[in-house]
Structure 1
């Protein structure tokens, strides 16, 4: 390690917010939701003239909110080291999804790393464990090359989800997808198109992706999990994936790849999503998110 690396490490380890992460040298954003929304917003589908033009998958989305993780039996849970986390809630309908995202662009195509502390749970509407009521929790990047790339440029969307349960069966495994739904025109001006890339179809099991996450004994309790995902914007390939004490094989992992779109150059969006398996709401919570790069 160089003297500069030693200095950066010392600064990081002296800061409780940073020392829980292992960031690359440049911090792009460090979002602790005790400070507010930090730029995270609702994933609104494309539309033209009327909101009714939006694809149904997007029309179900609502805005994330700040939460103290309240519950009826012991008050508020709070975050890892403060009062608030970012809460994402589905509608109370089996298969319903919700998504939150942060919209950025990149200034150099190099390695990036996303780290976060997350948890998920069903709405505690019954005095039962309900460990199979959440269908999935996941995340994705939505990326596009810069406008200098020329012909053949791509929009690249690496997706990963933890499939907790399906139709009441407890599955507990990580999955990815390399296909999206057909791209459809929106409106009549020829300027807007859309596709719902979080459809239930085309998810594939990650090799060795079975994992039993900590899930507490009653539905009001939660435990926080650590997650890290590494990606190289130069090659548009995933380079690492870790959850808690497990690092996973990405040898078969492929992102969704579609032709570059005419107005999304250098896009660097980060999304999280949650899905319910029953007719009750599923919740996902983010305590903090760190996005870093090596450029």
Structure 2
């Protein structure tokens, strides 16, 4: 195919790429970078998302309490008592991350990759969240937070020797007060040995301490009029694996200032080279389960 006069070959290739993406109903809702690393449509199954299991040695009871509360992510039709089910955004199923019914309980799902080249990476998803609809009231302050994190480490010949963990959460409420703001954290808890020896260490990086507000990070997300209704929201996070720095955060019609953003940075682990892990989490504020639902995820890169 010959490019029109004045249109460079690279521009023509990009125009063709965009045309192909926009012709695909599943992908056209996203704005991926040139190479799609994974596309998770949960009508096809779990797509690699599984329970975040904490480190242990000799006995499962050596696992730190934060990790011991986690359970497996589920596939859900978003069932509810008054109308049956919502289903996903355009299929019957979504990924469901559900906490236990205890104030402050958390649950985390993880997808594990490695990277083959340093470069920009983009994480996009459509999500919604709700408490369990066990009362005939709105319950808009029952979910404490939902969020995501990356768990990254350089190659085995890198000189920097760091494990880098950007964390972001939407703090919906705390102690019954509606807060609705984005936060990040740059410190984790102290490392602790697990088991009888010193070979296996663990730290619970989603502990409640240490969260910081993003500048102008307040955002009122759509939360419908009764406890069973949901609306889907769009989220995008851009990160550079070369500099290990955040590039941008976008949610629906808003973009957020990440100029002061810092990731958790800790010494590299001896067996996690080129690690590229993604996590999603939910947290409840009351003695009621909180649900984070994810319709679909697109992870893409410029390499």
Cα deviation, residue 188, structure 1: 3.1
Equivalent in the alignment of 1:274? 282
Q: Residue 289 in 1 paired to residue 290 in 2? A: no
SS class of match (1:18): coil
Structure 2 equivalent of residue 3 of structure 1: 12
> Matches of 1:94 and 1:188 in 2, distance apart?
32
Q: What is the aligned partner in structure 2 of residue 258 from structure 1?
A: 266
CA offset at residue 191 of structure 1?
2.4
Q: Confirm or deny that 1:195 pairs with 2:187.
A: no
Correspondences of 1:219-258 after superposition (within 5 Å): 219-258=227-266
- Which residue of structure 1 lines up, in the alignment, with residue 180 of structure 2? 172
Query: 1:142 maps to which residue?
Result: 151
Q: Take 1:7 and 1:82, find their aligned partners in 2: how far apart are those partners?
A: 28
- 1:160 alignment partner, one of 153, 157, 168: 168
Question: Which of the residues 80, 105, 118 maps onto 1:71?
Answer: 80
The TM-score normalised by the length of structure 1 is: 0.99
Tell me the distance in 2 between the aligned counterparts of 1:128 and 1:228.
31
Q: Which of 41, 56, 75 is 1:32 aligned to? A: 41
Cα deviation per residue 1:37-62 (whole Å; 9 max; x = unaligned)? 10100000000000000000000000
Q: Distance in 2 between matches of 1:116 and 1:192?
A: 34
Alignment match, 2:6: none
- Higher alpha-carbon Rg: 2
- TM-score, normalisation: structure 2: 0.96
Give per-residue Cα distances to partners, 1:75-116, cap 9 Å, x unaligned. Answer: 110111100000010000000000001000000011000000
Total equivalences in the alignment? 294
1:206 to 207, 214, 232: 214
After the TM superposition, list the runs of 4 or more consecutive aligned residues in structure 1 that deviate by more than 6 angstroms.
none
Gaps of 5+ in 2: 1-9
1:98 is matched with which residue?
A: 107
The answer for the alignment partner of 1:19 in structure 2 is: 28
Give structure 1 stretches of 5+ with no counterpart.
Answer: none
Cα displacement string for residues 136-174 of structure 1 (whole angstroms, at most 9, x for unaligned residues): 000000000111113x31000000000000000000000
CA distance in 1, matches of 2:21, 2:139: 39
